[in-house]
């Protein structure tokens, strides 16, 4: 079953993969599951990006639920938005 996926603007990149992985991709092509190596790689990269963003959202939600806000703060745009430990509070 070959899928047709609409892509935006495409850029050429070079990816080195093992001969063994190329054989597996060729088998998928022979079975008609993917039309080309390029399409297989586009699908694989898109799926990995989706998984990575879902993982980041999950980790962020876990951190936000477990952070002691009296000892840690988040500074937007600093330290990749990760919580930063408060070393000393300034008294006014």
Can you tell me the mean pLDDT for 26-48?
95
> What is the CA angle 14-17-18, rounded to 5?
155
Antiparallel, parallel or unpaired: β 83-85 and 72-74: antiparallel
3-state secondary structure of 71: coil
Q: What is the pTM of this model?
A: 0.59
Of the CA atoms within 13 Å of residue 83, those in its CB half-sphere come to 18
Structure letter (DSSP) for residue 14: -
Residue 86 binned pLDDT confidence (cut-offs 50, 70, 90): low
pLDDT tens digits, one per residue of 46-66: 999 999 888 888 777 776 677
Which has the closest alpha carbon to 14: 35, 34, 38, 40? 38
């Amino acid at each position: 079953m070959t899928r047709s996926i609409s892509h935006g603007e495409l850029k050429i990149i070079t990816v080195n993969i093992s001969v063994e992985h190329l054989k597996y991709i060729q088998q998928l092509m022979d079975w008609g599951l993917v039309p080309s190596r390029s399409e297989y790689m586009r699908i694989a990269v898109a799926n990995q990006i989706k998984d990575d963003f879902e993982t980041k959202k999950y980790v962020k939600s876990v951190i936000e639920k477990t952070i002691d806000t009296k000892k840690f703060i988040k500074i937007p745009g600093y330290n990749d938005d990760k919580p930063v430990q408060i070393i000393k509070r300034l008294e006014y």
